[in-house]
Amino acid sequence: MKKNREDMTVRELEAEVRKHNRLYFLEHKPVISDEEFDRLVEILREKAPNSPALTELVSDVRATGVKVRHETPMLSLDKCYDEKSLVDWASKFEGDVIASPKIDGVAVSLRYDRDGRLVQAATRGDGVEGEDITPNARRVHSIPQDAKSLAKKGKIEVRGEVYMPLSVFARYKGEFANPRNLAAGAVKQKDPAKTADYNLSFFAYDLLGTDVATEDEKLKRLAAADFPTFEWKKLGREQMQSAFEYFIKRRDKYDFETDGVVYKANSVAEQKRLGATSHHPRFGIAYKFQGDSGVTTLIDVEWSVARTGAITPVAIVEPVELSGAMVRRASLHNMGYVRKLGLTKGAKVLMMRRGGVIPNLESVTEPGKGKIDIPRACPSCGAPTREEEDFLYCTNAKSCVRSKIAELEHFVKTVGIDGFGDKLLEQLYESGIVTDASEFYELTMDDLMQMERMGETLAAKLLKNVESSRSIPLSVFLQSLGIRELGRHAAKILAGFGTLKKVTALTEEELSQVHTIGEVIAHEVVEGLKKKKPLIDKLLRHVRIEKEEAPARGGRLGGKSFLFTGVMLAMKREEAQGLVEEQGGVAALSVNKDLDYLVVGDGGGAGSKLAKAKKLAASGGKVKIIEESEFLKMIKL
């Protein structure tokens, strides 16, 4: 059985990192994706932050090749995967930022003498030494053979990437894995004449040996000297994320593969001040795309009613293949997200499977003509809807058919009554046999045998499952009621009061004083318990409530409170909340002055919680906003 990387020893992880580095840089035959490799590195970094495998570089210098020592090391770029990490990086220097697409080609160094003649070309190698490929570089048509206008004051060095355009690679599909592998082999042909046959291209991204003060001036000079450069932007800090989104939209329009955006400090003086580690320069970073992406057409937006009455938009798109799967639907998170994107029917939209798992509609690349209407009536029961911040709700959730069926589904899942699927619940509800949770405990064999496709064996099994759930822990009972804001972890906190009687006797003022609860949650819970009293009384005729101990507060997280927002990629939100409690933390219920951490899921979709937390932090609040990846490090996953 293949061993999970999380379970590997440090020595095993180091061997894996070195193997995949060798396959990528030396043999040009990678067998895992960039995302998988980055995750492998992160696991090793968490277990052994000082491991030499994290910083050592694999040389692509062959034993038969002529070695070239770089006057200035050619280091690889550090990576990030979220806006917060990008902003943190940019906070370490002054001035503007230069952004451009990240092209996965073969990094090369071109040296020109005082007369502007190309005298040497070399691969990146291990960053210190590379391999001489001068004869081959002369056969790449877009590499200038002279640079007289740049070499007026002495020798210069131009750095860039040799790559194979996608239009050229189309000839070789099926024979080679990707354009980079083919470009790497083509630029090292023993017969340089064969290099020309592959129609490789080149673009320049750096200029050394001049007195240029900024990155944008370097790029302008390179372009003026007929060195190909790609689209780039000079940005203020507040524009970095929008530039990332801009380049994502352009991704499918380029004639080359790109897997992210490169950012550099514009000031050369700041670059020198920042310096470099043994592995990467501190003045640059690659903001990587999180998964396979593709452009498709938005057909429509459907609206589904959840148990709480929240009405969630779902994008229906023309099928598009992403990360090996056909994607036809994607959650749009909430009404506010639809408005933010400016969605219209028929629009061309960029879809991405973040982390290779969760489909997400990232942006609109071309507007459509059909208006997306926000429902003024519940799509299930026809009752009026109401807007609350970024969310839309059915005002008749209590008796909305879909909402009621969802309530029943929530109850059986929460208390652990297996076997009651959506179709069976719908039959039971619409036939009037089960209209609230207490009636599960009144079911008979005759009741169940009325349902479609029901046999005696299945009916007996369902009744047995119901019978086994008559003893319910207090926190589970509270959560099963389906009260807004009273989820698993709020229920755990309330269970600490000891008995259901004490919980239902709490006032809003008393409950709001409980750490992480706050006024809004207290109001929803107290009012919800009042409204649910008839159901509670009926349930108590059939079930027994088990007393629970208050959750422990020791452990690694030491009583710190955590609130989650957005889509979690590594685990479900409920699982993350459970881990917080297991490690001595508190699963918070809302953004308030007592909150220690707001964790933003890497799958996107963060709503008003993030905005509130930012506002609270700006006004001096103690809350820290962290990404899902940072949270995983805190809990050592």
- Stretch 397-406: mean pLDDT, rounded? 81
pLDDT value at residue 64: 40
Taking 60 as the threshold, does the pLDDT of residue 488 lie above it? yes
- What's the CA gap between 613 and 590, in Å, rounded? 10
Are 354 and 602 contacting, i.e. CB atoms less than 8 angstroms apart? yes
DSSP assignment string, 18-58: HHHHIIIIIS----S-HHHHHHHHHHHHHH-TT-GGGT---
Find how far residue 431's CA is from the centre of its chain.
Answer: 43
Instruction: Name the residue among 167, 87, 126 with its Cα closest to residue 627.
Output: 87
Average pLDDT over residues 44-68: 66
The C-alpha atoms of residue 143 and residue 168 are separated, in whole angstroms, by 17
Of 279 and 77, the structure prediction assigns the larger pLDDT to 77
Give the side-chain half-sphere CA count within 13 A for 466. 20
Q: What is the CA radius of gyration of the chain?
A: 30
Spatial distance between the Cα atoms of 436 and 121, rounded to a whole number of angstroms? 76
Amino acid at residue number 187: V
Tell me the pLDDT tens digit for each residue of 160-202.
999 999 999 988 876 776 788 888 888 888 888 888 889 999 9
More reliable by pLDDT, 350 or 409: 409
Using the structure block, give the residue that is written with the tokens 């003045």: 283
pLDDT tens-digit profile of 366-399? Answer: 899 899 999 999 988 889 999 988 899 999 877 7
In the block, residue with structure tokens 């009042």: 530
**Annotated catalytic residue: which of 102, 264, 532, 560?**
102
Name 307's Cβ contacts closer than 8 Å, sequence gap at least 6. Answer: 403, 406, 407, 409, 410, 482
Q: What is the mean pLDDT of the chain?
A: 85
- Model confidence band, residue 59 (pLDDT cutoffs 50, 70, 90): very low
Please tell me the distance from the alpha carbon of residue 154 to that of residue 559, in angstroms, as a whole number: 63
Alpha carbon distance, N-terminus to C-terminus of the chain? 21
In this prediction, residue 88 carries a pLDDT of: 92
Of 502, 478, 504, nearest in space to 589 by CA: 478
Candidate from 78-92, 229-243, 547-561, 589-603 with smallest mean pLDDT: 547-561
Q: What is the pLDDT of residues 113-141, one digit of tens each?
A: 988 899 999 999 888 888 999 999 999 99
pLDDT tens track for 546-588: 887 655 556 678 778 899 988 888 888 878 888 888 788 888 7
Pick from 22, 120, 107: nearest CA to 66? 120
At 590, which amino acid appears? S
Across residues 232-257, what is the average pLDDT?
88
Residue ranges and CATH numbers for the domains of the chain are: 5-54 (1.10.287.610), 67-288 (3.30.470.30), 293-393 (2.40.50.140), 401-546 (1.10.150.20), 561-634 (3.40.50.10190)
Confidence at residue 516, expressed as pLDDT on a 0 to 100 scale: 67
Of 431, 429, 378, the residue nearest 407 (C-alpha): 429
- Please report the pLDDT score of residue 32 as a whole number: 76
Q: CA torsion, points 605, 98, 265, 620, in degrees to nearest 10?
A: -30
Tokens standing for residue 612: 């509130």
Average the pLDDT over 212-223 and give the result: 94
The answer to whether 436 and 538 have CB atoms below 8 angstroms apart is yes
Cα dihedral 173→176→181→183 (10° resolution):
-60
Instruction: Please give, one letter per residue, the 3-state secondary structure of 359-418.
Output: EEEEEEEECCCEECCCCCECCCCCCEEEEECCEEEECCCCCCHHHHHHHHHHHHHHHCCC
* Residue 446, number of CB atoms within 10 A of its CB: 8
Supply the pLDDT for residue 286. Answer: 92
**Computed from CA positions of residues 606, 607, 611, 616, in that sequence, does the dihedral angle turn out positive or negative?**
negative
From the number of C-beta atoms within 10 Å of its C-beta (0-12, 13-18, 19+), residue 382 rates as exposed
Strand partners, 354: 358
* CA atoms of 635 and 432, how far apart (whole Å): 47
Is the model's pLDDT at 517 over the cut of 80? Answer: no
Look at residue 60 in the predicted model and tell me its pLDDT.
46
**pLDDT, mean of residues 523-527:** 91
Q: Are 127 and 74 in contact (CB under 8 A)?
A: yes
Res. 65 pLDDT band, cuts 50 70 90? low
44-53, 305-314, 355-364: segment of lowest average pLDDT:
355-364
User: Which residue, among 275, 245, 277, 273, has the nearest Cα to 261 in the 3D structure?
Assistant: 245
Which amino acid appears at position 551 of this protein?
Answer: P
Mean pLDDT computed over 233-249: 89
pLDDT at 435: 85
Residue with the larger pLDDT of the pair 22 and 515 = 22
Q: What percent of the chain has pLDDT over 70?
A: 92
How many residues in the chain? 637
- By CB atoms closer than 10 A (0-12, 13-18, 19+), residue 93 is middle
pLDDT value at 4 more than 80: no
Please give the Cα distance from 624 to 567 (Å, whole number).
18
* pLDDT for res 28: 57
Q: What percentage of the chain reaches a pLDDT higher than 90?
A: 39
Residue among 25, 206, 199, 175 at smallest CA distance from 104: 25
Average pLDDT value for residue range 347-352: 87
Q: Can you give the pLDDT at residue 481?
A: 94
State the helix-helix crossing angle for 34-47 and 10-21, rounded to 10 degrees.
150
pLDDT at site 63: 37
Tokens of 96: 């503007």
- What pLDDT is stored for residue 265 in this prediction? 96
Contact (Cβ atoms closer than 8 angstroms) between residue 133 and residue 188: yes
C-beta separation of 411 from 480 below 8 A: yes
Torsion of CA 45, 635, 488, 542, to 10 degrees: 110
In this prediction, residue 452 carries a pLDDT of 85
pLDDT at 608 over 50: yes
The residue with greater pLDDT, 537 or 484, is 537
pLDDT score at 539: 96
pLDDT at residue number 528: 92
pLDDT tens per residue, range 193-208: 888 889 999 999 999 9
Q: Rounded mean pLDDT of 508-525?
A: 82
Q: Is 398 a catalytic residue?
A: no
Query: Among 574, 587, 585, 582, which Cα is nearest to 414's?
Result: 574
pLDDT at 431: 78
| pLDDT > 90? residue 16 | no
290: pLDDT strictly greater than 70: no
- What does the pLDDT look like over 78-110, one tens digit per residue? 888 778 889 999 999 999 999 999 988 899 999
Alpha-carbon distance 375 to 388, whole Å? Answer: 14
